[in-house]
Amino acid sequence: MTREPLTAAQKADVLAEALPYIRQFFDKTLVIKYGGNAMTDERLKDSFARDVVLLKLVGMNPVVVHGGGPQIERLLERIGKKGEFIQGMRVTDAETMDVVEMVLGGQVNKEIVNLINRHGGKAVGLTGKDAGGFIRARRMRLRQRDDGEALIDIGQVGEVSHIDPSIIQFLDRGDFIPVIAPIGVDEEGQTYNINADLVAGKLAEVLRAEKLILMTNTPGVLDKNGKLLTGLTPREIDELVADGTLSGGMLPKIASALEAARNGVRSVHIIDGRVEHALLVEILTDHGVGTMIRAE
């Protein structure tokens, strides 16, 4: 379907609507977890890059943390290795870790950096191993569902133990846009694959971000009737988890969002990355495209 072009007056209305938001979020940090369809659809990839550049040009400080699950899966298939998941986490032996590092730290990270730079931004790609290992990790062990005392070793999968924000702050001051692959390292130099939602949430806390924005392949948080819940508090989220409304793959994302909202991030947005210019619609207009969780 062809969209009618906006008139000059309509364009002026759009700009006028954005002005108070530009003023409110000027010089504020926005941590954006980039994933899902927005990373694989060419039109949406282009839209995302332009949105990030525009946010930087109007004075905000976007920090991008990206995933790359489908790209990792494709390379594993090419080398004849089948991906294995336990409780939603990728089992990561040494060979799989090499693939994860190659895809996230190389292919995907550099593609995002290049796309942002092509649209006039100044992006810098990083993994948590850079700048003296600014993302410190420890090995994650899962608990058996039928035996809470038994632990499952899923290999080189990590959780964040510490983030040094100084490199991100330095890049922000230089008008650069940090693009971060969720790979961490421990004190012995062991590399870990970390869930991108988890890294984004912890980074938002450490940077005292104004917003944490999680891009997904869903409209946001839905109630039991499939209706979008546009505004929630952490207490209301707890109730939705307790009554079973929230379950499955949304739980890790919600857990990361809740922790951020309870630890200094002013608002968390779970938005539909399948919507073109989703970032701009959520941040600069009166009409969001997802669920906002406010700190209580």
**Per-residue pLDDT tens digits for 258-281:** 889 888 899 999 998 898 998 998
Q: Where are the beta strands (DSSP E) in the chain?
A: 29-34, 61-66, 85-86, 89-90, 123-127, 135-144, 147-163, 177-181, 183-185, 191-194, 211-216, 231-232, 267-272, 290-294
Average pLDDT estimate for 136-141: 92
The pTM is what? 0.91
Q: Please, which residues have CB within 8 angstroms of residue 3's CB and are 6 or more apart in sequence? A: none
Structure letter (DSSP) for residue 146: T
HSE of 118 in the Cβ direction (CA atoms, 13 Å)?
11
Residue-range domains of the chain with CATH: 27-294 (3.40.1160.10)
- Asked whether residue 193 is marked as a ligand-binding residue, the answer is yes
Residues 93-103: what's their mean pLDDT? 93
User: Which CA distances in Å does 23 have to 60, 159, 161, 211, 284?
Assistant: 10, 36, 35, 15, 10
Average the pLDDT over 64-89 and give the result: 87
139 labeled part of a ligand binding site: no
Q: Which residue has the tokens 């899902």?
A: 36
Q: What are phi and psi of 187, to 5 degrees?
A: -65, -25
90 in a labelled binding site: yes
Query: Annotation-wise, does 37 bind a ligand?
Result: no
pLDDT bucket at 125, cuts 50 / 70 / 90: very high
Tell me the pLDDT tens digit for each residue of 106-119: 999 999 999 999 99
